[in-house]
Amino acid sequence: MKLNALPFLDKKENKDYFLSLILRNEKAKAVIFEKSGNTIKYINDAEEDFENTIEDATTEEFLNVLDKAITSAESALPQNIETHKTLLALKQSWIEDNKIKKEYLEKLKKAGEELSLDPIGFLVFSESIVNLIQKEEGAPVSAILAEFGKKYLTVTLVRNGKIREVRSSEIHESASFTVDTILKHLQTPEVLPSRIILLEEEEDGLTQEFIGHSWSKSLPFLHLPQIVSLPQEAEVKAVLLGASTQMGANLIFDIKKPAMYEKEKESEEFIDKKDLETDEKIIKENGLGEDEKKGNVEYIGKDSSMEFFGFSGGDVAKSKPSKEELKDEEKETEKFSEKEMEEHFEEIPEDVKLKEEQRRGPQVAGIMVLEKIKIFLSRLLVYLKKMDFGAILANLKGLGPKNLAILGSAGIVILLLLFYLFVFQTSAQITINQTPKIEEKSTTAVFSPNESTNVDGRIISAEIISIDKEGSVTTNATGKKDVGTKAKGTVTIFNNDTDSVTLSAGTVITASNGQKFTLDGAVSVASASGDIFSGTKPGTKNANVTAEEIGTEANVPSDTKFTVGTSKTIAGKNDNAFSGGSKKSVTVVSDNDIDKLRSDLPKSLEQKAKEQLRGQISGDKTAIENYINTDFSGESFDKKAGDEAKQVTLKATVTFDFVAYNKSDMHSLALKLFEGGNYNIDKNKLEVSAKDVEVEKDEDVSAKINIKAGLFAKINTNDLAKQIAGQSVTKVKNSLGNLENVSNVDIKVSPSLPFISGSLPKNPDKIKFTVSAN
């Protein structure tokens, strides 16, 4: 990532103070530096440790550690001067695609807000270290960089000045052993650089430990690796050098500490001239001339310094080498014949590790016993050193010669007994806990009551199990209905015809507002009377009528005119207004309410049916908990459709049909689906769900099933016992912990004696395993 807006716009001699925060696995370091004109000068630094690691730290702990480190470092500044402009030096794992990962960016933003920091850019710490070494040596670096903390370490593989791979681990047994183990797991297919650079060494012991370490024979070193240690101030110098180069300034760095590589000579005595000539040959093949090897130290130009010192250029730990680079490295490896490689490997001492070659023949037993005696005696010496022999001798002076002889004989017998137990009678119980690798797969299967299981054909033999559950369910009525009374009144029927008429009961007459009424009874109306000279008078007759529909609309006023069908001679009129018509809307039970109850009742009883199903099947049997069919019996509604009501209740017995099958059959299908040749699958932990369940005509049930399984790597305990026999408990525990899916390893050696229980028995038959799943 590029460093933007660095404050070097003015060329005044004013002093500006900057803060750099170096964030490592287990600690944070604050570095104060001053820029005056074209010069950057180191002022002070201070560091604080995290309780465990920076990733495990809570936001509160993260802020407290940074605050303490900054406060201590700023103590060297003039009064009332504080630093705000901050350069961040971050771990390789915090960067992705030239950007700070989101989860870490939030932490850094919080720190900026709480501690009044003004970030001006960031660099990658490991890249800066590599570039510092490259500047000191004047040539591209090829080495293994090891950074150490109290609990964790990080290994960085550097080839031709570029970081190829980064691995971190908790320190197990020793730092050198952990680095050895990490190197075995590097994915980069190449010869390892024969130089290991140690960063963060506080005592001479770490360098001596690496110089004396017996490296695993499988590691592709060309010769015994050279051990080089960086001084403690290297991390500060690397970061400030990157900042000064970007600012176009000169760095004044005057911490008085041991010079870089001062311990290099201690390891050179292990490397002969022939080995060094081989390394020079590789350097030439990688295109480095004499001038590059001599390494005249020149400062990088301003235009290229950003990328050079880790401010840009991507996450090199994750980026892959170019095809040309890989081809060059492959050529480099191919130049050594298999015979030459074996000769180089023979120069590396054999390590106490998991056997990489199977030893055979009658010499094995003798070698095993000798190794066991060596371990026994070394531990016995350690144990004896802890004893207070002065006090023991004082007590022995009071014993006579006879008692001393008896005591000496008893001691010899005890030692022989202990040796016998140690070599021949120790046994070990190893418990390996595995965390499964969870995977899911789907397929279409047929559950058949009529056919046997055929895994290839996706047919599972099954049976139908019926479960009866009685219950009731209630729902609110949602139907609507109008209710009321019909209007009534009296109409005078007028007949203007010359003939009398009779109107039967139920005859419909229509009011002028459109309301229809029916005669309550038959009515006979006389004909009209009179003549043309005196005028005619229609015959009349009163008749009672009732409205056809309920509602107030039929309450017509007086003097409303009525017609009788299409007749032109018969009509009617009321002298008094009609009354009694009314209407209102009420809630009633609808057909939809009835259907809903039939749908809801199985849902309400489904869980109880499943519980009864689980209690009804056992052993190797299990069932798909999706029922395939339901049937009602004893169905009873307390209201029928159309009844006025607020609620309606259904009581019935529901019969559920389920598909049951054997777990072993589904386990066989799972092994087929997951291609379980290299894995074990616990049939009792399979999770099977089904959808799109359909019952075929022949009672077969087809369904799309989803199988969720925990896959466990197979462990051949017989072969494993032969491989680890006689190895140290710590080393075996670490090795087994690196196996696939293994989450925890517990080893108990018996008898448990002070200096015996540290190794496994030499006899593989004495090693027993228990493999369990989390």
Gap between the Cα atoms of 364 and 383, Å rounded: 28
**Binning pLDDT at 50, 70 and 90, where does residue 200 land?**
low
Gap between the Cα atoms of 221 and 232, Å rounded: 27
Q: Give the single-character DSSP code of 728.
A: B
Q: Phi then psi for 367, rounded to 5 degrees?
A: -60, -40
Q: Determine the angle formed by the axes of helices 59-73 and 102-114, rounding to 10 degrees.
A: 50
**Binning pLDDT at 50, 70 and 90, where does residue 519 land?**
very high
- Around Cβ 51, how many Cβ atoms within 10 Å? 10
Tell me what pLDDT residue 298 has: 31
Overall average pLDDT of the 464-473 stretch: 91
pLDDT tops 80 at residue 276: no
Tell me what pLDDT residue 757 has: 57
- Alpha-carbon radius of gyration of the chain: 48
Overall average pLDDT of the 410-437 stretch: 76
Overall average pLDDT of the 37-49 stretch: 87
**Binning pLDDT at 50, 70 and 90, where does residue 268 land?**
very low
pLDDT tops 70 at residue 632: yes
Tell me what pLDDT residue 377 has: 58
The answer to whether the beta carbons of residues 511 and 560 sit under 8 Å apart is yes
The token duo for 64 is 């407290």
- pTM given for the model: 0.39
Nearest C-alpha neighbor of 576 from the set 486, 491, 487: 491
Q: What is the largest CA-CA distance in the chain?
A: 180
- Around Cβ 291, how many Cβ atoms within 10 Å? 10
Tell me what pLDDT residue 232 has: 79
Nearest C-alpha neighbor of 142 from the set 126, 166, 158: 158
Tell me what pLDDT residue 189 has: 60
The answer to whether the beta carbons of residues 564 and 588 sit under 8 Å apart is no
For residue 710, list its beta bridge partners.
438
The answer to whether the beta carbons of residues 56 and 25 sit under 8 Å apart is no
* CA dist list (Å): 117 to 125, 264, 600: 19, 40, 62
Total length of the chain = 774
The answer to whether the beta carbons of residues 506 and 516 sit under 8 Å apart is no
Return mean pLDDT, the chain.
77
pLDDT tops 50 at residue 647: yes
Q: Give the single-character DSSP code of 422.
A: I
- Decide which of 424 and 251 is more confident: 251
The token duo for 488 is 């009534």
Q: What stretch of H or E contains 669?
A: helix 663-673
Q: Give the single-character DSSP code of 661.
A: E
- Around Cβ 600, how many Cβ atoms within 10 Å? 14
Lowest mean pLDDT among 55-59, 153-157, 314-318, 462-466: 314-318
Gap between the Cα atoms of 486 and 469, Å rounded: 49
* CA dist list (Å): 299 to 122, 138, 241, 547, 624: 20, 10, 10, 112, 73
- Around Cβ 108, how many Cβ atoms within 10 Å? 21
Nearest C-alpha neighbor of 612 from the set 654, 645, 559: 654
| Apex 388 CA angle, 386 and 389, nearest 5 | 115
* Residue ranges of the chain that CATH labels 2.40.30: 482-585
Q: What is the pLDDT of residues 114-160, one digit of tens each?
A: 888 888 888 888 888 888 888 888 888 889 899 888 888 899 998 88
Lowest mean pLDDT among 55-69, 250-264, 517-531: 250-264
Overall average pLDDT of the 7-22 stretch: 68
3-class secondary structure, 94: helix
Gap between the Cα atoms of 634 and 506, Å rounded: 45
Paired sense of beta strands 582-588 and 118-124, if any? unpaired
Overall average pLDDT of the 461-466 stretch: 89
**Binning pLDDT at 50, 70 and 90, where does residue 422 land?**
low
Amino acid letter for position 199: L
Residue 661: partners with Cβ closer than 8 Å, 6 or more residues away: 447, 460, 461, 462, 463, 621, 622, 623, 624
Residue 254: partners with Cβ closer than 8 Å, 6 or more residues away: 42
Q: What is the pLDDT of residues 595-621, one digit of tens each?
A: 999 999 999 998 999 888 888 888 888
Overall average pLDDT of the 457-483 stretch: 91
Nearest C-alpha neighbor of 677 from the set 713, 727, 652: 713
Nearest C-alpha neighbor of 556 from the set 511, 519, 518, 520: 511
Fold of the domain spanning 482-585 = Elongation Factor Tu (Ef-tu); domain 3 (2.40.30)
Gap between the Cα atoms of 211 and 264, Å rounded: 10
pLDDT tops 70 at residue 196: yes
DSSP per-residue codes, 13-46 = --EEEEEEEEE-SSEEEEEEEEEETTEEEEEEEE
- Classify 229 in phi/psi space as left (phi over 0), alpha (psi -120 to 50) or beta: beta
pLDDT tops 90 at residue 648: yes
The token duo for 637 is 């509604």
| Apex 322 CA angle, 316 and 324, nearest 5 | 145
3-class secondary structure, 573: strand
Query: By CB neighbour count within 10 A (0-12 exposed, 13-18 middle, 19+ buried), where does 505 fall?
Result: exposed
pLDDT tops 60 at residue 265: no
CA atoms within 13 A on the CB side of 141: 26
Q: Give the single-character DSSP code of 764.
A: G
Gap between the Cα atoms of 720 and 432, Å rounded: 12
Tell me what pLDDT residue 504 has: 92
Overall average pLDDT of the 627-642 stretch: 89
